[in-house]
Amino acid sequence: MRKIIKNPLAFAGLIIILLIGILALFASYLSPYDPNYIDIQSILVSPNKQHIMGTDALGRDVFSRMLHGAQISLLVGIVAVGISTLIGIMLGSIAGFYRGITDTLIMRLVDVMLSIPSFFLILAVIAFLTPSIWNIMIVIGLTSWMGVTRLVRAEFLSLKERDFILAAETIGASDLRIILIHLLPNSLGPIIVSTVLGVASAVLIESGLSFLGLGVQAPTASWGNILTDGKEYIQFAWWLSLFPGLAILITVLGYNLLGEGLRDNFDQNT
Amino acid sequence: MRLILTSILFICLFGCNKSQIEDVNFDEEASQESGGTLTNAMIGEPNNLIAMIAGDGASSLIAGQIFNSLLKYDENLEFEGDLAESWEISEDYKTIKFNLKVQKKWSDNHPITCKDVLFTWKAVTHPDTRTPYGSDYQLVSSAQCINDYQFIAKYKEPYAPALETWASLHILPEHLLKNEDINNTYFSLNPVGSNYYSLDSWVTGQQLKLKGNPNAVHGKPLIDNKVSRIIPDLSSQFMELIAGNIDLMSINPIQYSRVFPNRPELNKKINLYKEMGNGYTYFGFNLKKRPFDDINVRKAISLAIDRQEIIDGVLLGLGEEITSPYKPGTYWENKNIKKLSFNPEKAKELLENSGYRLNNNIYEKDGIPLSFEILTNQNKQREMTAVLIQRRLQDIGIDASIRVIEWASFVNRFIKTGEFQAVVLGWSLSLDPDQYSIWHSSQQGPGQFNFIGYSNKTVDNLLEKGRQELNKEKRKAIYNDFSSILYDDQPIIYLYAGYGLSAIHKKIKGVKKLSPPAGIYHNDYEWFVPNKFRRNEMSL
């Protein structure tokens, strides 16, 4: 932790993430209006005291929608990455620990998955399902575990040759115990890094899907949704494109900064 | 240093240019002059200039300037001769005789005769021709040429929309096409026609240029060249309009009532036009599924929706409520229908009469909550409409969710299979009142237009009678009955008919301020660009 504070970029990333996290967590208390409250009398009002980020084409308050959109974006990011990390750790541990034919099968599966451009894979799968945030989380999770699998496997391969593992095996510890107690805790570093970076890419994918109309469905607000709505009026309702665009940029930047910072950190340790 | 010089040069270029534009007063009257160029924009590129094969909007728009039909509509939407000089309908309504204009020529100087008409009819009805429009012309039991300038079409049964079908069939030149496969011919990209314009050049993905046809059946148009640029994005089109690179486009309500009023410099060079559009947007139900088979549910939904709110919110007031499936203000509209107005209390009452009870603020019956999904395609206005409907339904205790889908999968996965509950969609209307294909119970097959599954014996009967009645007053009575039964049944809820909004550069003169029923583009062959307003034209 102290090292993160010493690295100004990583620290900035952490602050950004915390800040956006807090805003999202308390969205219902912080937003001045109901995000879905329609006011036909004040359509596309530019930012002012009542609506600090203006209103959209149905007179809804953009600031309130941005706050609730943050909830959606972060929720999708974190749950999707949770799913992919879980799958990645499981498959990576099995492959790295047991080697042999199991390893070959899992790693070839990883190669197959990696050979498909992931965004298009997600697009294709989502097009067949009902678009909802739960489906999006699951689909993003199920299509982005390959990186973690490779990392965990590589860590396991090198750790398995160490003496303390040999010692554990000699005492007669079970496979599960060796994996959970001895191997995993020692390979946490790279997993954390890839998790943090994964959130950034999941936030981007969710925004992309919503922008294309395949993500979160109206009237639920998400950054991608607000951005598509704004596209139509970009010549004069700049606030509809600027704020969600900035929010996505800053969030992704925050996660990337923290992830990179952590990576430098772990690299120095090893 | 070079950079500074270049920037100074640029500043000067833009500066000088600007002051020049400001000097021109486009409101000045000018006398008719021929020549000049009109530039417009298309979203999509035409794929085939033989309209019966193409079937897409961009193609028929261009093809319509190159080809004539036998008949056309005048500015009051009455028929007048196009290639035909006159026409006679027999007393039993089963035979139409067209007398063609004599001595007219294709743009390659070949004479236009009855053979061309007969050839076109044979082509559109031939089983190998891949056209969606064949069925109308297959009702003609026999067609023949009496001489070079007389064409006769005989029908088995009287068919009231017949004249309309002859007004929408582009006559093609037999001498160029008789040995060609019409589905797949070079002619479709290099057509020879008889109308005001002929194709000059076509740069794929960029633009299509038409030039005045000296042989045009109705004489040469005033504007010499028409350039249609292909700009797939509407926002970019609007920027091109503001920059003066295109002369006209249709605009949306926000641009019409928000952008233009705030930018006086635009009003100096661009005129705005507003006219009733030729279609309506509706909220439709899958009538074969619960709960929409219950008329009380449909009526309750209709009463719960505030249509004026949708018109104000989505169209910024630029639209009208309708009560019959016809363009407001036209002959076929039934003006005597009393409209259901916004009344959420009455809506709840109707639901309760049907056995629905509130549970957790949502109505339910037999343990099944009144809840459904509203589908619509990726059209911002429709999506916003769905959001407003959802909110109003929620207010009275109906739970609706929204799903927006891309057009192709919308049609193929949901409409054609009947796997939908409710939709926000639109119909564009033809000028003939016949709506057999939308409402007749026989038209429910996959890919047919009665996909909501509407079936009403009386309506079937009226639609069949309406097709065979050629007396205009009697026909009007039939379609009035049809409209009022439809409104009582509420198989769909009419939401609004939006205005068509156009922006046209002021240098284009001859546009009628008060648009006739046929629309402002009706007399575009009389439009002209005075010499003093013409831009320096560079060739591509």
Chain A interface mutation, best of B379, B403, B417, B421, highest count of A Cβ atoms under 10 Å: B403
Q: What pLDDT score does B2 carry?
A: 55
**Distance, first Cα to last Cα, chain B:** 33
The tokens for B421 are: 């509950």
Q: What pLDDT score does A2 carry?
A: 67
pLDDT digits (tens, 9 = 90+) for B118-173: 999 999 999 888 887 888 898 999 999 999 999 999 999 899 899 999 999 999 99
User: Given an 8 Å threshold on Cβ–Cβ distance, is B254 in contact with A235?
Assistant: no
∠ CA B141-B145-B149 to the nearest 5 degrees? 135
Q: What pLDDT score does B4 carry?
A: 55
Query: What DSSP designation does B342 have?
Result: -
User: What is the rounded distance in angstroms from the CA atom of residue B46 to the CA atom of residue B210?
Assistant: 13
**For residue B20, pLDDT beyond 60:** no
User: What is the rounded distance in angstroms from the CA atom of residue B192 to the CA atom of residue B197?
Assistant: 10
Report the relative pairing of strands B197-203 and B225-230 from DSSP bridges: unpaired
Smallest CA–CA distance from A130 into chain B, residue:
B403
**For residue B315, pLDDT beyond 80:** yes
∠ CA A91-A92-A93 to the nearest 5 degrees? 95
B402: nearest CB among A44, A219, A232: A219
Q: In the beta sheet, which residues pair with residue B285?
A: B422
Smallest CA–CA distance from B242 into chain A, residue:
A235
In percent, how much of chain B has pLDDT > 70?
Answer: 94
**For residue B18, pLDDT beyond 60:** no
Q: What pLDDT score does B19 carry?
A: 42
User: What is the rounded distance in angstroms from the CA atom of residue B519 to the CA atom of residue B504?
Assistant: 14
A218: nearest CB among B259, B316, B383: B383
Query: Could you write out the DSSP letters of every residue in B129-148?
Result: S--TTHHHHHTEEEEEEEET
Q: Is B34 left (phi over 0), alpha (psi -120 to 50) or beta?
A: beta
Chain B interface mutation, best of A34, A36, A37, A40, highest count of B Cβ atoms under 10 Å: A40
Q: What pLDDT score does B23 carry?
A: 63
| Residue B27 vs residue B81, higher pLDDT | B81
Residue B510 — φ and ψ, nearest 5°? 95, 0
Chain B interface mutation, best of A236, A238, A239, A240, highest count of B Cβ atoms under 10 Å: A236
Which of B526, B522, B506 lies closest to B223 in space, CA to CA? B526
Q: What pLDDT score does B409 carry?
A: 79
Set of chain B residues whose Cβ sits within 8 Å of the Cβ of A38: 313, 387-388, 391
H or E segment and range at residue B271: strand B270-276
Query: Are residues B60 and B67 in contact, defined by beta-carbon separation less than 8 angstroms?
Result: no
Residue A165 — φ and ψ, nearest 5°? -70, -45
Q: Shortest Cα distance from A246 to chain B (angstroms)? A: 21
Set of chain B residues whose Cβ sits within 8 Å of the Cβ of A234: 235
Residue pairs between chains A and B whose CB atoms are closer than 8 Å:
56
Handedness of CA B208, B211, B213, B218 (dihedral sign): positive
pLDDT digits (tens, 9 = 90+) for B513-522: 777 788 888 8
pLDDT digits (tens, 9 = 90+) for B179-218: 989 988 999 999 999 999 999 999 988 999 999 999 999 9
User: Given an 8 Å threshold on Cβ–Cβ distance, is A127 in contact with B384?
Assistant: no
Q: Shortest Cα distance from A187 to chain B (angstroms)? A: 43
Set of chain B residues whose Cβ sits within 8 Å of the Cβ of A229: 380
What is the 3-class SS of B354-411, one letter each residue? CCCEEECCEEEECCEECEEEEEEECCHHHHHHHHHHHHHHHHHCCEEEEEEECHHHHH
Set of chain A residues whose Cβ sits within 8 Å of the Cβ of B401: 217
User: What is the rounded distance in angstroms from the CA atom of residue B255 to the CA atom of residue B265?
Assistant: 14
| Residue B22 vs residue A15, higher pLDDT | A15
Q: Shortest Cα distance from A219 to chain B (angstroms)? A: 6
Query: Are residues B237 and B248 in contact, defined by beta-carbon separation less than 8 angstroms?
Result: no
User: Given an 8 Å threshold on Cβ–Cβ distance, is A218 in contact with B262?
Assistant: no
Q: What pLDDT score does A62 carry?
A: 93
Q: Which ipTM did the prediction report?
A: 0.80
Set of chain A residues whose Cβ sits within 8 Å of the Cβ of B388: 38, 58
Beta-carbon contacts of B169 under 8 Å, excluding residues fewer than 6 positions away, are: B52, B69, B70, B120, B121, B124, B133, B137
User: What is the rounded distance in angstroms from the CA atom of residue B460 to the CA atom of residue B417?
Assistant: 23
Smallest CA–CA distance from A59 into chain B, residue:
B313
A232: nearest CB among B235, B262, B390: B235
pLDDT digits (tens, 9 = 90+) for B375-392: 998 888 999 999 999 999
Beta-carbon-side half-sphere exposure of residue A93 (alpha carbons within 13 Å): 20
User: Given an 8 Å threshold on Cβ–Cβ distance, is B313 in contact with A59?
Assistant: yes
Beta-carbon contacts of B490 under 8 Å, excluding residues fewer than 6 positions away, are: B295, B298, B299, B302, B340
User: Given an 8 Å threshold on Cβ–Cβ distance, is B254 in contact with A229?
Assistant: no
- Residues from A contacting B (CB-CB < 8 Å) are 36, 38, 40, 43-44, 57-59, 127, 130-131, 213, 217-219, 229, 231-236
User: What is the rounded distance in angstroms from the CA atom of residue A50 to the CA atom of residue A66?
Assistant: 15
**Amino acid in position B160:** A
Set of chain A residues whose Cβ sits within 8 Å of the Cβ of B312: 40
- Residues from B contacting A (CB-CB < 8 Å) are 234-235, 238-239, 252, 254, 258-259, 262, 309, 312-313, 316, 378, 380, 383-384, 386-388, 390-391, 401-406, 409
Q: In the beta sheet, which residues pair with residue B283?
A: B424, B493
User: Given an 8 Å threshold on Cβ–Cβ distance, is A57 in contact with B378?
Assistant: no
User: Given an 8 Å threshold on Cβ–Cβ distance, is A127 in contact with B409?
Assistant: yes
Set of chain B residues whose Cβ sits within 8 Å of the Cβ of A44: 254, 258
**For residue B107, pLDDT beyond 90:** yes
Query: Are residues A51 and A172 in contact, defined by beta-carbon separation less than 8 angstroms?
Result: no
**For residue B36, pLDDT beyond 50:** yes
Q: Shortest Cα distance from A217 to chain B (angstroms)? A: 6
Chain A interface mutation, best of B379, B383, B421, highest count of A Cβ atoms under 10 Å: B383
User: Given an 8 Å threshold on Cβ–Cβ distance, is B409 in contact with A213?
Assistant: no
Domains of chain B: 24-43+196-276+507-533 (3.40.190.10), 66-175 (3.90.76.10), 279-498 (3.10.105.10)
User: Given an 8 Å threshold on Cβ–Cβ distance, is A38 in contact with B386?
Assistant: no
In this prediction, residues B493-498 reach a mean pLDDT of 95
pLDDT digits (tens, 9 = 90+) for B332-379: 999 999 989 999 999 999 999 999 999 888 999 998 999 999 999 888
Q: What pLDDT score does B17 carry?
A: 47
Q: H helices within B55-150, ranges in order?
A: 57-66, 114-125, 134-138
Q: Shortest Cα distance from A228 to chain B (angstroms)? A: 10
Q: What pLDDT score does B15 carry?
A: 45
Set of chain B residues whose Cβ sits within 8 Å of the Cβ of A238: none
User: What is the rounded distance in angstroms from the CA atom of residue B290 to the CA atom of residue B311?
Assistant: 29
User: Given an 8 Å threshold on Cβ–Cβ distance, is A217 in contact with B391?
Assistant: no
| Whether pTM exceeds 0.90 | no
User: What is the rounded distance in angstroms from the CA atom of residue A43 to the CA atom of residue A38?
Assistant: 9
pLDDT digits (tens, 9 = 90+) for B230-286: 998 888 899 899 888 999 999 989 899 988 998 888 888 899 999 988 889 999 999
Chain A interface mutation, best of B235, B239, B263, B318, highest count of A Cβ atoms under 10 Å: B235
Q: Is A38 left (phi over 0), alpha (psi -120 to 50) or beta?
A: beta
Per-residue pLDDT of chain A (270 residues; tens, 9 = 90+): 666 677 888 899 999 999 999 999 999 999 999 998 888 888 888 899 889 999 998 899 999 999 999 999 899 999 999 999 999 999 999 999 998 999 999 999 999 999 988 888 888 888 788 778 888 899 999 999 999 999 999 999 988 888 888 888 888 888 888 888 888 888 888 899 999 999 999 989 988 888 887 888 878 888 988 888 888 788 788 899 999 999 999 999 999 999 998 888 877 655
Which of B280, B303, B333 lies closest to B484 in space, CA to CA? B333
Query: What DSSP designation does B539 have?
Result: P
Q: Shortest Cα distance from B239 to chain A (angstroms)? A: 8
User: Given an 8 Å threshold on Cβ–Cβ distance, is A38 in contact with B387?
Assistant: yes
pLDDT bin (cut points 50, 70, 90) of residue B416 is confident
User: Given an 8 Å threshold on Cβ–Cβ distance, is A38 in contact with B405?
Assistant: no
User: Given an 8 Å threshold on Cβ–Cβ distance, is A229 in contact with B316?
Assistant: no
| Average pLDDT for chain B | 88
